[in-house]
């Protein structure tokens, strides 16, 4: 049985595996007549990936989903493949950059790009945070590439394939020259890699974005068909032609109905007021912010929840644990209007403990959060009993980053607001 990749040919995540296959000398065929939103909804596809996302690689031994796992599988088909480096430390560094590429580069490009294309809710503060995080990541990458042609060693590895594919999304659609010129070594690296023959064969010609897509307007203009202004409408048609056409893991979401939380009775607690108080309190935190929180708190309109990561023993590497929490908070952007959270990474040595406190609108965890943020299933959730003084004090300590927390040092404390 041939290896069959279920995806469209222009999906950057599928392209990782196709380029790896070119370097490895393995034949991978694209599924025939694949149509996003149709093919990935069939019972046959759902059996291979219950979430319905692409790409999925069909192999003689069973299906593999998640693009980096697929690229690794294809690469492993060749024993001692140089794409995995020439030593154990090089292999570890390749995996290091693969994680960095996913959490620091790809996630932030997506958080910047997709809301502007209407695939996610456009929230200006969330975009600012994503762009700042992306610049920080590109700055770190730029420093590394100042003295390295490739990410690891002196030739192309799987790390370069995954990094270049993730960067290509940014370069093609939103990272203009005025944005990337701040990172000259990243620019040199990217154009060097994507112009390698095996990349060109799959990626084709890569052209850098000339402008940043405008965010979706809140009030679409009503459809009109005036007789005369047709000439003026021509430029708009050209812009529509040049809109990015690419295929992601899921089809663009359809317009959603009004959020049920917006239909709840008004609450005396104004979430934005609490967030401002938290942000602006610099001294006497207990007397000002904590007291203010309980004065504002409305148990009829809001609920408080503790969360504990289910797999604490896996948190053996500090930066991986921190990235895990950072990724969770990024994916919680969909709930920013309805939630406030604190996530603590606890311990001075591995395994590190991840624990959190969340305030949600409504008397239970919102269903749309449970449905759409897969990280929620990785945590045990317990509602806070505000009549229990010990639990109430635990809330206070988590809000103020009290240390030592439950007898241990804080490695980091992150706030979602």
Distance of CA 10 to the CA centre of its chain: 20
* Cβ–Cβ < 8 Å for 376, 301: no
- Predicted local confidence at residue 259, as pLDDT: 85
* Cβ–Cβ < 8 Å for 391, 384: yes
Residue 146: CA atoms inside 13 Å, Cβ hemisphere, count?
Answer: 9
First to last CA, the chain: 50
Distance between CA atoms of residues 342 and 381, nearest Å: 14
- Predicted local confidence at residue 215, as pLDDT: 85
For 23, 37, 99, 178, the CA distances from 190, given in Å and listed in that order, are: 18, 31, 18, 16
- Predicted local confidence at residue 237, as pLDDT: 43
Token digits for 380?
């045990």
pLDDT tens profile 200-212: 999 989 999 999 9
How many beta carbons lie within 10 A of that of residue 8, not counting itself? 19
Helices (H) and strands (E) in the chain, counts: 17, 9
Distance between CA atoms of residues 329 and 333, nearest Å: 7
Edge to edge, what strands does the sheet with 62-65 contain?
Answer: 28-30, 3-6, 56-59, 62-65
- Would you report the helix, strand and coil content of the chain in percent, each value rounded to 5? 50, 15, 35
- Predicted local confidence at residue 242, as pLDDT: 46
b/e for 15-37, b at 16 or more Cβ within 10 A?
A: bbbbbbbbbbebebebbeebebe
Q: Which residues of the chain have pLDDT under 70?
A: 1, 217-257
* Cβ–Cβ < 8 Å for 354, 321: yes
- Predicted local confidence at residue 241, as pLDDT: 41
- Predicted local confidence at residue 145, as pLDDT: 95
pTM: 0.56
Distance between CA atoms of residues 400 and 250, nearest Å: 39
Reference 130, options 118, 113, 153; nearest CA is 113
- Predicted local confidence at residue 197, as pLDDT: 94
- Predicted local confidence at residue 218, as pLDDT: 57
- Predicted local confidence at residue 386, as pLDDT: 94
- Predicted local confidence at residue 142, as pLDDT: 95
Distance between CA atoms of residues 382 and 128, nearest Å: 32
Residue indicated by tokens 């693969």: 98
Enumerate domains of the chain plus CATH numbers: 3-203 (1.20.1050.10), 271-416 (3.30.70.1010)
* Cβ–Cβ < 8 Å for 207, 28: no
Radius of gyration (C-alpha) of the chain in whole angstroms? 24
């Amino acid at each position: 049985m041939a290896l069959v990749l279920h995806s469209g040919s222009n999906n950057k995540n599928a392209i990782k595996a196709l380029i790896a296959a070119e370097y490895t000398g393995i034949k991978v065929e694209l599924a025939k007549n694949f149509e996003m939103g149709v093919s990935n909804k069939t019972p046959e596809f759902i059996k291979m990936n219950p979430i319905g996302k692409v790409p999925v690689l069909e192999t003689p031994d069973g299906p593999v989903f998640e693009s980096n796992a697929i690229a690794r599988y294809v690469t492993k088909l060749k024993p001692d493949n140089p794409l995995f480096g020439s030593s154990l430390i090089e292999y570890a560094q390749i995996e290091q950059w693969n994680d960095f590429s996913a959490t620091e580069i790809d996630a932030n490009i997506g958080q910047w790009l997709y809301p502007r294309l209407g695939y996610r809710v456009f929230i200006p503060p969330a975009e600012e945070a994503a762009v700042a995080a992306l610049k920080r990541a590109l700055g770190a990458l730029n420093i590394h590439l100042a003295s390295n042609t490739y990410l690891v060693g002196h030739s192309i590895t799987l790390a370069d394939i995954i990094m270049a594919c993730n960067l290509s999304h940014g370069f093609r659609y939103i990272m203009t020259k005025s944005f990337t010129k701040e990172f000259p070594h990243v620019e040199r690296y990217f154009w060097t890699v994507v112009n390698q023959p095996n990349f060109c064969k799959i990626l084709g010609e890569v052209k850098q974005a000339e402008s940043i897509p405008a965010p979706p307007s809140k009030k679409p203009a009503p459809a009109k068909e005036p007789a005369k202004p047709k000439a003026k409408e021509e430029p708009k048609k050209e812009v529509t032609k040049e809109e990015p056409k690419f295929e992601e893991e899921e089809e663009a979401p359809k317009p959603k109905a009004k959020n049920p939380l917006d239909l709840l009775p008004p609450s005396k607690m104004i979430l934005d007021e609490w967030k401002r108080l938290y942000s602006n309190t610099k001294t006497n935190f207990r007397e000002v912010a904590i007291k203010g929180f309980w004065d504002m708190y409305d148990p009829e309109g809001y609920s408080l929840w503790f969360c504990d990561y289910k797999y604490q023993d896996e948190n053996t590497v500090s930066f991986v644990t921190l990235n895990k929490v950072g990724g969770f908070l990024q994916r919680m952007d969909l709930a920013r209007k309805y939630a406030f959270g604190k996530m603590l990474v606890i311990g001075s040595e591995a395994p590190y403990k991840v624990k959190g406190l969340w305030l949600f609108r409504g008397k239970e965890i919102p269903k749309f959060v449970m449905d759409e943020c897969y990280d929620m299933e990785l945590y045990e959730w317990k509602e806070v009993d505000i009549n229990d003084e010990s639990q109430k004090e635990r809330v206070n300590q988590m809000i103020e980053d009290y240390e030592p927390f439950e007898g241990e040092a804080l490695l980091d404390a992150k706030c979602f607001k």
